[in-house]
Structure 1
Amino acid sequence: MKTLDPRDRSAAIAAAVFLVIFGAGFMFLPRAMLYLGTISPYLAAAVGTLFVLAFFFVFWLRARYQRRR
């Protein structure tokens, strides 16, 4: 069995953390949007939009980092 290179291990840990954080966030997002929708529908839409944009922002940052390497 082949062992992981330290860089590969680091990337795997980062991917797992990313999946856990955003997976939990997307799991609780509908409940949070319903709660925020009672305060303001615009606030709920803004929070949902920002969360989805943050998901793609992480990929954009990763692509910029990889391009420089």
Structure 2
Amino acid sequence: MSPESRAQAIAAATILICAGLVIYFLPTLVLWIGSYSPALAVIAGAALLLGFFAIFWLRAHYQRGRGK
């Protein structure tokens, strides 16, 4: 395994583990925020879910910029 592919695998694993933790705790977090403001809970939930896709989009954008 080349160092570059190993770094990519580590980055992908890190992103997936962090996203898994966020998704696992998302219902608890949204319910906790929802006790203060339901609208804020919706915004927080949407932001966390969209953040998962934004990370992959940013990473792809960065990789394209480097010519890979």
Query: Structures share a fold, TM > 0.5?
Result: yes
- Of the three residues 24, 27, 33, the one matched with 1:27 is 24
Query: Which structure is larger by alpha-carbon Rg, 1 or 2?
Result: 1
Q: Which runs of 5+ in 2 are unaligned?
A: none
- Of the three residues 43, 54, 59, the one matched with 2:56 is 59
Note the C-alpha offset of 1:64.
1.0
Instruction: Calculate the TM-score normalised by the size of structure 2.
Output: 0.90
Corresponding residue for residue 48 of structure 1:
45
Q: Whole-Å Cα distance in 1 between the matches of residues 25 and 32 of structure 2? A: 11
Residue type matched to 1:61 in 2? L
Aligned positions, number: 66
Quote the sequence identity (%): 45
Q: Which has the higher contact order (CA 8 A, sep 6+)?
A: 2
Instruction: Calculate the TM-score normalised by the size of structure 1.
Output: 0.89
Instruction: Report runs of 4+ in structure 1 exceeding 2 Å deviation.
Output: none
Q: Whole-Å Cα distance in 2 between the matches of residues 18 and 37 of structure 1? A: 27
Note the C-alpha offset of 1:52.
1.1
Q: Whole-Å Cα distance in 2 between the matches of residues 17 and 60 of structure 1? A: 15
Corresponding residue for residue 5 of structure 2:
8
